Each structure stands twice: as structure tokens, then as C-alpha cells.
Amino acid sequence: MSDNGAVLVVDGRDGLGQVLTDRAVTHGVERARRHGISAVAVRNSGHFGTAAYFTRKAAEQGCVAILVTNASPAMAPWGGREKRVGTNPWSVAAPGGRYGTVVMDIANTTVARGKIYHAKERGQPIPEGWAADADGVPTTDPRRAIEGLILPMAGHKGYAISFMFDVLAGVLTGSAFGGAVVGPYQPAGKSGVGHLLICVDIRAMADPAEFEQRMEALVEGTKATPAAPGVSEVFVPGEPETTARLIEDDRIAAVTLTGSNRAGAAVGSAAGRAAKKSVLELGGSDAFVVLDDADIEAAAAAAVKARFTNSGQSCVCAKRFIVDASVADAFTSAFVAGVQALRAGDPRERDTQVGPLARDDLRAAIQRQVDESVAAGARLLTGGKPLPGAGYFYQPTVLADTGPGMPAFDEETFGPLAAVAVAHGDEEAVRLANAGAYGLGLSVWTADAGRGIALARRITSGAAFINAVVASDPRLPFGGTKRSGYGRELAAAGVREFTNTRTYWVGT
């Protein structure tokens, strides 16, 4: 509809709300990076489902995000008895440092409408205080509640918030508002839902590292609040309370997770509180170390495979290539040539070597890591842009002159991005390899296996491969150190993680 740089207005033409809002996040983050703050209005959309999914995506890309929407009438104006205002959900999300994304997602009613429908399907009553019938009389019958009213949270305050969100998501965006919005539980047709997304690039207001430190202090201070009687823990918005309840169940003896660091923190802390065993296999930023006596052609060929397997979307992919200065030019030249020869395309075709990324936000994250690293002094040797066409393709990319302080070196790069760093001798190679926050795998390339093993002993990782690409093998233990997790999977060690050694003493 209109594009004013920081402000974009889109007509969804009654399309899928999930798809439209996902695109809104992409545009909102990109514009926030250029202007510091952005607003994306979507009119004539369908309902988007869970608001937190979208604000979390923006927060994971360095923004504070606010998303509001409107919905079909569910509550009466304060003092009225006829539905005029929707539940009008909203979400706010921000990066929380080591605590992951702090995110709030709520409707402005006492309960989400879907829970009432769920109770109706199961033939169960709803709690008192959730709803009223068509005459405004409180009810616990979900059928009468659906025909009647859902009560606002916090009384008149919840109604007022919902009313103003109809202004933002309905009136301002040019969408339907009030009684004109069509609900998702009604016959298919034009819903006329509106959304408004606001993204603030943290860098426009604060140093991102300082912001995350302040967020961590806020979370820590909040969680340190003494718990009330009968409460086991104080939560901050967005913490997976369901996960904690599941792990605390007496039927659960131990838990293992392969996933993100945020998920790992939630599972690990819940298991610790419940005094139960846990194994975490999390992210990785594996170092691929090339010493001065290595077979350069063999190392470069292996480096291409180690980095770009599965389009770089694997925790055990090599991501940081630390090369001795005496062979750096030769290795880099051979490595870049191998990367440029890779064929990107349909993963169903046999000759395809690089497929698409799983999601658009992963591609956006790679682009951010490339842009910020180049701005910090890295050199782009090849790639560096999305590939056109259908699918979330990204050019196989190599950055040179990287090091600590650059996203491509410090963060997990979950995509086709390789970071090359030059080391002046074995000591600096060890220092650079240990400079990362992760410690999953390590690959060392040298003509002297003994030298490779000696160097590997000085680098913290869960596995060390000499003249070979890091891989998992069911015959061998697999797991990480540092932010890559703890415990071991596979082989006998993996079995023992979920057994208890029991002592028997039989007197005579």
C-alpha cells in the first residue's frame, strides 16, 4: 500500500495471517536496522496464531519488538452486555542475554478464547470468572460462554487496553474494527484482521552487550524474589513453565535435550531444581585448525565438506577456520575455490550440494552476521547475499580476517557462512580456538598426528578429530563442553548417563 522507509503498510488481501506476519517481521527488522525503529502495518489479514512466535523472531535478530492485533468481538464494553471488543492479543519480546528471549504474549481477556472452545469439545465446565452468558450473567458453561461474553482481565483496565489496540490494529491500519472483525471460528470469508508491528533496533539506543547485561540483571533480580508459600519458583515472562512441570513429574527420572541454548537453559535449570539427571546437546561453533605442516589441498577439500554439509545447518559443522599464517593464503585460495564450485539448488536433485535454509529468520541471521562482521573489519571473499527465487537460499559465503569480537567468529553461524582467522603459530591457534563460547567438536590438520593430539589437548571441546572431519558415530560418545552442553550421548557412555550405580552390601 505504502512504503515510507521506516513505515510500511501492507494489504494482506485476506491472506494467511501467519505468512503475512512472518513477512512483516522480515521487513520490520530490516527497516529498524536502517532507521533505528520501524512500524509495519498489515491490513485485511487472517489471524496469525501465536503472537510470541513473531516477536521472538525479531528479538533474536537484535530488536525489541511489539506486536498488536485485533480480533472478532468477545467482550462487552465496560458496563455493557453486548460483544463489541475483541480479545486483541499482543506480545512484547526482547533479547535477554544468556536467559534467551524474554517474551510476553497475552490476550486482554481473563482467558484465551480457544480454551473455552477446548472445554466445550471435552464437555468440561470452565472456571468461574472466565465468562458470562448472553445476558451478562456469569457462567461456567462453555457453550453459554461462547454465545455470551468473555470477561476482560483486570476489569475495566483490560477493556480499555483492548479498545486502544483496536485503534492501533484496526482503525490506524485501515482494517476492520469492533464488530466488523470476523473470527477464526466463524465460516470462511474476509476476516479483516489488522496487525501492527513495531521493531526497535537496540543499537540505535544502547550498546547491545550492555543491554543484554542489564536484561540479565533484571531477570536475575526478579527471579531472586522470595517465593510465596506453595510456589516453587518465580518466573519471568516467556519462561517455559510447562517444561518445568513435566520434568518435576515423579514419573520422569531423567531428561535429555538436543536444541538451542535457551531451551537447554530451561531444561537444565528445571532438572537441577528437581534433582534429576540431564544431558544437553546444544549449539556449536567448531574450530577447524590448519597447522603449518598440513596437507593444504586435503585440508581445504575437507573444510568445504565440514562447513557446508546440510547447508551449514548442523551443530557439528566446522564454522571457524583457524589457519597458520605461513599457509593461510594457499589454504584460503583453495578453500574459496571449493566453495565457489558448490552447486546450490533443489535438495531433491542428486547433484545439489547446498540446499535452502530451514526458515527465513535463519537466513536473516546469517545476513546480519555477515554485515556486522564486515563492518567490524572482516573481508568478504565470496557470497554474502541471499539467492533469488523460491526457498530460503543463501550464497555459500567465506569471510577472511575474522576474530573475536565479530559475530561470524563469536556466535553460532547456523548456515553457509565460514569464518577464516589467521594464527601466528600454535600458541595463537590455541588461543583463538578457545576464544569461542562453545566447545562441541574440534578438527586439527597436520602432518604430525602427535603434534595434533598435543595441540588438541589444550583446546576445550567434547571431541577432537585429527586429519578428519568431526562427526558422530554410535560406537563413540558424543557431547560438548562450555555452552555446547554437558553429558554424553551414544555408545556405552550414553547408556550410563541414564543409569544409576547402586551399591549392595551383604553381611554374613
By CB neighbour count within 10 A (0-12 exposed, 13-18 middle, 19+ buried), where does 180 fall?
Answer: middle
pLDDT averaged per 10 residues, the chain (length 508): 90 90 94 96 91 93 95 88 89 88 92 86 91 90 91 92 95 90 63 93 92 92 85 77 81 91 84 92 94 97 96 93 97 97 91 90 89 96 91 95 96 95 97 95 97 97 96 93 94 92 93
Q: Cβ(199)–Cβ(38) under 8 Å?
A: yes
Q: Find, among 4, 7, 1, the residue nearest to 40 by Cα.
A: 7
* 454-485 b/e (C-beta count within 10 Å ≥ 16 → b): ebbeebebbbbbbbebbebeeeebbbbebbbb
SS3 assignment, position 313: coil
pLDDT of residue 4: 87
Closest CA to 320 of 331, 333, 307, 311: 307
| Beta-carbon contacts of residue 252 (< 8 Å; ≥ 6 apart) | 246, 274, 276
SS3 111: coil
Distance CA 66, CA 196 (A): 8
Residues catalogued as catalytic = 281, 315
Rounded Cα distance between 277 and 189, Å, is: 51
Label the pairing between strands 318-324 and 138-139.
unpaired
Query: Cβ contacts of residue 98 below 8 Å, gap of 6+?
Result: 212, 216, 261, 265
C-alpha cell at 331: 589454504
* DSSP-assigned letter for residue 130: S
The cell for 457 is: 589437548
Please state, as a whole number, how many other Cβ atoms lie within 10 Å of the Cβ of residue 413. Answer: 25
Write down the residue that cell numbers 555408545 correspond to. 491
pTM value surpassing 0.75? no
Three-state SS for 34-47 is HHCEEEEEEEEECC
* Alpha-carbon span 107 to 94, nearest angstrom: 19
Output the pLDDT for position 81.
Answer: 83
For residue 188, the model assigns a pLDDT of 53
For the chain, the maximum distance between any two Cα atoms, rounded to a whole number of angstroms, is 89
The per-residue pLDDT for 227 is 80
Q: Are 238 and 102 in contact (CB under 8 A)?
A: yes
In the DSSP assignment, the letter for residue 6 is: S
| Best CA proximity match to 57, nearest among 97, 18, 29, 33 | 29
pLDDT value of position 204:
94
Mind giving me the DSSP string for 337-348? HHHHT--BS-TT
Q: What is the pLDDT of residue 259?
A: 86
Residue whose C-alpha is closest to residue 456's, from 340, 291, 297, 262 = 291
